[in-house]
Amino acid sequence: MFQVVARCGPARAGILETAHGRVETPLFMPVGTRATVRGLMPAQLREAGAQVLLANAYHLFLRPGDELIRELGGLHGFAAWEQPWLTDSGGFQVFSLKDLVEVTGEGVRFRSPIDVIFHFLRPEDSIRIQNNLGADIIMAFDQCVRLPATPEQVSAAVDRTIAWARRSHDAHTRTDQLLFGIVQGGTDSGERERCTRALLELDFPGYAIGRLSVGEDRNAMLATLATSAALLPQDRPRYLMGVGKPRDLIDAIALGADMFDCVIGTRNGRTGTLFTSAGVLHLRNSRFRDDPRPPDPACACPTCRNHSRAYLRHLFKAGEMLGPILGSLHNTWYLLDLVRRARRAILEGEFPRALNLPREADQPIP
């Protein structure tokens, strides 16, 4: 199911087999929360080299409904993406709600932001929803703890995550879906280890490292990742959830993570903030008003092949919808290409030296 084919220190290049095809790791997954990567067509994502798209069980349960999506062919048929899908369990979204009403050992009661109706979500419900959606990779229901948190809050969240992982495991019925467990524990190495060892007993085909890159110090995030990755088995994929800045991706790959997702590429692209090989480009800046250069001369994406910084700035300033589309397309292409080049560098034994990624990759171009 998962095979590591090359290593360069802790960094790994692997192959993951899914029901809808083989994918290569390290792997970046564009986020299509509601079964769409905002502003981009499936054909554009395929051209950019996307292998897996991520959708969210919580959002699709609320609208249009997981039963409807099942009737219309699951995510693959419903959204016209026949390559692999991954669905998040909805745990992160539920625990981020302002109207989170009650958390018990049984599950979570919350108010829908769409129609203000109350719902109760249990691990079994999350798995049933994800079974209906038909993704190739699905996630166990877990409890995310808001930061900062007391040691008691972190420990209680780990207790629930372990218990809910067991229930998710027992509720999962489809043999064509890979169910991943999610390791929680904040930045507490002891709690992370306790959670990991409990999840290993369930022998999941893959493991996610959850609730990082959400406000903690970057060094603490990397240290926690290093601790978590070292505890996970070598023959299973490691999915670092919610990480997508260029420097963070490379540093996480260097520590042994295999899979990533993040909304930052399309979110930044929609506002004219583009990742480039020289740093971050803020296209709304007046100095790009008459700049004839492409956003990134080193990039082969359609945006950079066909359009100038001046034209893109004009689109954003004029409020034209093409601007966010071209910005999102570039950032998605850039992140996919960066991870693809990281894989090639691992295979050639030149990671990360061969990437030529500046330390300022996440900083504005001066």
The answer on 159 and 47 residing in a single domain is yes
Same domain as 176, residue 55: yes
User: Would residue 267 count as lying in a domain?
Assistant: no
pLDDT at position 203 is 98
What's the mean pLDDT when you consider all of the chain? 94
Whether 261 is catalytic is yes
Question: pTM, whole model, 2 decimals?
Answer: 0.96
349: left (phi over 0), alpha (psi -120 to 50) or beta: left
Please indicate, yes or no, whether residues 158 and 59 belong to a single structural domain of this protein: yes
- Domain termination residue (choose one: 230, 262, 294): 262
Q: What does each C-alpha distance from 99 to 131, 138, 147, 161 come to in angstroms?
A: 26, 25, 17, 21
| Domain harbouring 183, CATH code | 3.20.20.105
Confidence (pLDDT) at 95? 77
What's the structural domain count of the chain? 2
119, 226: one domain? yes
- At residue 357, the pLDDT reads 79
Is 291 part of the annotated catalytic residue set?
no
Ramachandran class of 356: left when φ > 0, alpha when ψ lies in -120 to 50, beta otherwise: left
Mean pLDDT per 10-residue interval, the chain, length 366 residues: 97 98 98 97 98 96 97 98 96 76 88 88 97 98 86 95 98 97 93 97 97 69 90 97 94 97 97 96 97 97 98 98 98 98 97 82 73
337 & 280 share domain: yes
Answer yes or no: do 192 and 248 share one domain: yes
Same domain, residue pair 217 and 324: no
Q: Which tens digit of pLDDT belongs to each residue from 271-294?
A: 999 999 999 999 999 999 999 999
Boundary-marking domain end, from 211, 240, 262? 262
Distance CA 55, CA 197 (A): 28
- 158 lies in the same domain as 99: yes
Burial status of residue 205 (CB atoms within 10 A of its CB: 0-12, 13-18, 19 or more): middle
Q: Which of 88, 125, 251, 258 is catalytic?
A: 88
Domain that holds residue 66: 2-262
Dihedral, 28, 298, 320, 365 alpha carbons, nearest 10: 90
The pLDDT score that the predictor gives to residue 213 is 46
DSSP string, 288-311: GTT--S-S-TT--SHHHHH--HHH
Task: In whole angstroms, give the CA distance from residue 317 to residue 309.
Answer: 12
Q: What is the pLDDT of residue 147?
A: 76
Would you call 344 helix, strand, or coil by DSSP?
A: helix
257, 287: one domain = no
Residue 19: how many other CB atoms lie within 10 Å = 16
Q: Are residues 150 and 278 in the same domain?
A: no
List the catalytic residue out of 188, 248, 251, 261: 261
Q: What angle do CA 349, 355, 360 make, to 5 degrees?
A: 140
